[in-house]
Each structure stands twice: as structure tokens, then as C-alpha cells.
Amino acid sequence: MSTSTKNVIGLCQMRTTNDKKINREQVAELVSRAKGKTNFLFFPECCDYVGTNVEETKRLSEPLTGETVQFYKDLCVKNQMWMSFGGVHECIINEDGERNEKICNTHIIINSEGELAGVYRKLHLFDVDTPEFKFRESKIVKPGEGATKPVTTSIGSIGMQICYDIRFPETPIWLKSHGAQIITYPSAFSVSTGKAHWDILNRSRAIENQCFVISAAQFGKHNEKRSSYGHAIAVSPWGDVLAECSEELEVQFVEIDLEKISKVERNMPCFKHRRYDIYSMEMKTANQLESKESEQAFMFEKYPINCQTIFYETEHSVAFTNIRCVVPGHVLVATKRSIARVEEMTHDETKDLFVVACKIAKVLDDYYEAKSTTITVQDGEYAGQTVKHVHCHIMPRKPGDFEHNDEIYVKLNEHDSKNVKEEKRPMQVMIDEAKIYKKLLSS
């Protein structure tokens, strides 16, 4: 989306409390200072509020459709800016309409049209003992279910992280390999860990991934129990500190020149030197099916699969209910890419298919109270493959489900043959079944 290699961003630093009104005024003040100087602002973790205790932190949380995020959206539209709000307290609404016991620590990017361009829920929760306090983020926060791919924005491709995530180098490597030019760590670092590690962690992530790192920050005393280090920072792909805030309400302006990435990569092509024949970097991505179901059918070779029968999806694989079942719970897991033979699969596709198959097999075993599972791939016509698209059958097994155990393979060969007499299952039955599996997998 960015048409220029050079863009100026605003790096924000603020000190929030449990007063959401005053916190919004701080955000508006920083936007006012930045207007006319940048089209992209980065705000820190807890930009909505910092609660004084567990109950208040949960009570003040809002869904992403709440008035706080709407306030942010209105600011983006009014000022024609993109903004990153790195760690709002997201209230989770259960299917029964009630609030979940836990919330999410959620990083959002909003475009100049007031639309959510990116959503990332914090993966690594801050359960540590620092010299200042004992902190157990997992007491109230539900961890994210997967990584979020880089977001295409007006200034380049942004990889979204939050605070404590900076200590885990695997995710930024994955983000970089998926095209991230900028990785952002909006934070509320504790004072002791900030003094010891903040600068070196930000510079390390920039150097090893040859990208820009932008980390907006909280500063100062939020309440009697909690203070933040401040020192919001921006780092170049070479590890140079481009800007650093002190310890006050502040916005600093930084030029992001994407050509610097290309120069560093040309001189030191580290990612080309990575030994993918020895190691790989596979990452589960957040399942988007729960929030937005595609209206487009998945093509299983030449056969369209109703999207409502799909109950699990990853970057490389898709799982769906079957038109005929050899045993109750018989489902299929297929590669997203339309390929006929196992030999055509990439390393990542091979790994992902088996990981997904194992995950689903475990859930179905528990649901059907099965004692074993038959997982099989028919690789080619003479192995019994009738649909020329790599897939595996997952079939929960119970004692005595067949007189002779291997009879299941005979039934499997028959169930999709041209001469099969068994009727296809009603579509609504398959859809209802998919809803059950989807709920089990998301719990």
C-alpha cells in the first residue's frame, strides 16, 4: 500500500491511569501535536487504561465494538491518520452474551477510514517476579491463539507484537519471513526490566531481523502498585537508535526509509543464509473462522466444499465434515493448495497437515469417547484415492466397531466409489456437526 520508501511516523509515549476519560484526552493531545507532521501514530500498551486491581481491570474492559475503540476510529477518520493502539483490554463476550472471566490484551491497527486493518492478541503473558512486584497476567488475560500475519499499511508491512513478546525471537523471525518491514512492540515495561533490557532487546530484534522496530511506551507512576519505564524507541535495520523518548508525555517523529532494509539485506543477506534444510520456523496463525466465515466454497479438487462445513483452518490445511462416514466422527483434513500427491507437498505443508490431524484426532477421541484413531492418506489412484487432492481421513475407533479390524479400509474404499449405495448425509447435518467441532477446538 505504501507508494514511497520514505515515511514519517509518530512515536508516542503516555502515562495512563484508571481514568479512561483522561486517558482519551492524552491520546487526543498526542494526535493534535502530530497533525500535519505524520500520517501514522504508534501508541503504547494499555493506552486505554491501567487498572488498580484485577476486578477493576476486568470491569473497565470493552469489546472491540465498544466506545473506546470507536473513539480511536473517529480520531483516525477526523485526522486522516493510521494509528496503532498496542494493547487495549478487550472484553470477550461469550456465545450466551455474558462477559468471559478473562479478557484479551489486543493490539489493533486502524486505518484512515476508521477500519480495523489488523488485530493481534498477545501470545506471551507476563507471569514473572520483578524487583517491584509479582505480576501474573494470565490471571485475567487469555493468551492469543496464534500469530497474526504482517499488515499492509500506508508506511509498509507491519508485524504486530506486544511488550513481553519482545523476549521471544521466534515470532519476529516468522513475521520477517512473511514480509514484515516494521515490527512494533507497544509496551508498558516495568522500571527494573526496562533499565536492564529495554534498549538491547529492541536493538537485537531490529538487527537479527534486519527491519525497523518501533516501540511506543508507557512511562511513570500509574498507581501505588505500578510504574513504567518509558523510553519509547525506534530502531533502524542496522540497530541504530533513531529516536528515544525520555519520561514525559511525548511524541517524536521518525523517518522510516524502507530502502535501508534493502541495503542491509544486500550487504548481509542473513535470511538467504538460513538453513531451512536443517531447521524451520512454522507458526500457528490465529484462526479467523470464528470472527469471519468466508462465503466462498473451498475447492476440494473439482468439488466445492460448503464453507459452513469447515470447522478448522490453518495457513496450509483445512478440515471439514464428510459427506459419508465410515464411523461416527469421520472427517477430512486437506491441503489448502490443490495438489494430487504427497510428493508435491512442501515441508511446511507436510508438517502442518500432520499437526492439524493430530489436534483434531485428539478432540474427536475425547468427544466420541474413542479408544484409538485410524488416520490414513490414500496417496494416488491405486491407493484408493478418488479425489485427486491430498487429504487424510480421521476416524475415531471403538472396540468392536468392525468384526475384523482392518475391514475399515475396505469400507473406506467403498464409501466414495462410483457404485456406492449409501446416500450422502444432509448438508444441515454436516453443518451442525462442524459447529460442534469448531466449538470444541476453540475451547
Is residue 291 included in any domain, yes or no?
no
Contact 109, 116 (CB under 8 A): yes
Task: Give the lowest-confidence range in 13-17, 138-142, 290-294.
Answer: 290-294
Question: Is 296 marked within a binding site?
Answer: no
Is residue 194 included in any domain, yes or no?
yes
Same domain, 86 and 220: yes
Same domain, 336 and 231: no
Give the integer Cα–Cα distance in Å for 125 and 357. Answer: 28
Same domain, 211 and 309: no
Give the integer Cα–Cα distance in Å for 339 and 316. Answer: 12
Same domain, 247 and 377: no
Is the per-residue pLDDT at 348 higher than 90? no
CA distances from 40 to 37, 79, 113, 156, 210 (A): 9, 10, 13, 11, 21
Average pLDDT of 197-211? 98
Same domain, 267 and 302: no
Residue 421 banded pLDDT, cuts 50, 70, 90: low
CATH number for position 369: 3.30.428.10
Question: Is 80 marked within a binding site?
Answer: no
Same domain, 261 and 302: no
Is residue 262 included in any domain, yes or no?
yes
Contact 102, 159 (CB under 8 A): no
- List of residues 6+ apart from 274 with CB closer than 8 A: none
pTM: 0.72
Contact 285, 178 (CB under 8 A): no
Is residue 267 included in any domain, yes or no?
yes
389 an active-site residue?
A: no
- List of residues 6+ apart from 372 with CB closer than 8 A: 365, 396, 397
More confident residue, 405 or 437: 437
> Which residue bears the cell 493490539?
107
- List of residues 6+ apart from 267 with CB closer than 8 A: none
Same domain, 316 and 209: no
**What is the grid cell recorded at 190?**
516495568
Contact 208, 194 (CB under 8 A): no
The distance from CA 196 to its chain's CA centroid, rounded to whole angstroms, is 29
Question: Is 378 marked within a binding site?
Answer: yes
Residue 106: closest CA among 162, 59, 174? 162
**Per-residue DSSP letter, 196:** I
The distance from CA 202 to its chain's CA centroid, rounded to whole angstroms, is 21
CATH number for position 36: 3.60.110.10
Can you give the pLDDT at residue 419?
A: 64
Domain containing 173 equals 6-272
Is residue 103 included in any domain, yes or no?
yes
Question: Is 386 marked within a binding site?
Answer: yes
Question: Is 420 marked within a binding site?
Answer: no
> Of the listed 178, 347, 391, 404, which one is catalytic?
391
Is the per-residue pLDDT at 132 higher than 90? no
Question: Is 384 marked within a binding site?
Answer: yes
Is residue 417 included in any domain, yes or no?
yes
CA distances from 83 to 69, 115, 228, 443 (A): 11, 11, 22, 32
Looking at the structure of the chain, the number of domains it has is 2
Among 217, 237, 272, which residue terminates a domain?
272
**Cβ-based burial of 417 (10 A; exposed 0-12, middle 13-18, buried ≥19):** exposed
Is residue 213 included in any domain, yes or no?
yes
Question: Is 356 marked within a binding site?
Answer: no
Give the integer Cα–Cα distance in Å for 134 and 74. Answer: 37
Dihedrals phi, psi of 81, to nearest 5 degrees: -125, 155
The total of other beta-carbon atoms located within 10 Å of residue 434's CB is 22
Same domain, 197 and 231: yes
For 196-285, where are the alpha helices, taking DSSP H only?
199-209, 259-267
Same domain, 174 and 258: yes
Same domain, 196 and 334: no
Is residue 214 included in any domain, yes or no?
yes
Tens of pLDDT, residue by residue over 206-252, are: 999 999 999 999 999 999 989 999 999 999 999 999 999 988 999 99
Same domain, 39 and 158: yes
**What is the grid cell recorded at 208?**
537479527
Task: Give the lowest-confidence range in 58-67, 104-113, 236-245, 376-385.
Answer: 376-385
Tens of pLDDT, residue by residue over 275-327, are: 877 887 777 777 543 333 445 678 898 888 999 999 999 888 999 999 999 99
Same domain, 91 and 189: yes
Among 254, 272, 290, which residue terminates a domain?
272
Among 228, 256, 272, which residue terminates a domain?
272
